[in-house]
Structure 1
């Protein structure tokens, strides 16, 4: 199993949910937060002598777990659909999941998804 986490702008959330619903039977988890990537936030200058500004941007974290066989296809689809070749498109992190347990039934592994 692979855990897939996306860090994206909130305006892409609906599209990500549509894409992931075609692959993931385990559902998704969404959390809001703040951060920055290569663009290091952006600055809004309020006066000539003021260089303070926003250093972190609102972001959305979307997590899901998929079977190993689907992970590459999920990531390729997300990159193809969400990429605009601009700063702020987001990041995708893929990690191995050792096990999953469905609390209600005690099922392990792929059956727990």
Structure 2
């Protein structure tokens, strides 16, 4: 079953700035990540942090402790290009594959 892009409006389920185009509300591509597995298989129904920059070990541990998965967008890969095209370095992807928010920095987790 394929995913479609309903592009939800700004709400508590999608955090989108009013005056700037963003990836928020769009579907994350179901890209091949390691030559075999696709994004959906790696995320496995969890929140995912897609990032083009490697976070510090403490932030990585916090992401994992919260039950999310960290996906590093490799240079030249589909997810890296998707982030770049969207003007972002990081995207928080909901379990349904829709981007909750996107930006230049990974938000601090408290």
TM-score past 0.5 threshold: no
Q: Greater share of strand residues, 1 or 2? A: 1
Q: Greater share of helix residues, 1 or 2? A: 1
Q: Please, what TM-score do these two structures have when normalized by structure 1?
A: 0.28
Computing the radius of gyration from Cα coordinates, the structure with the larger value is 1
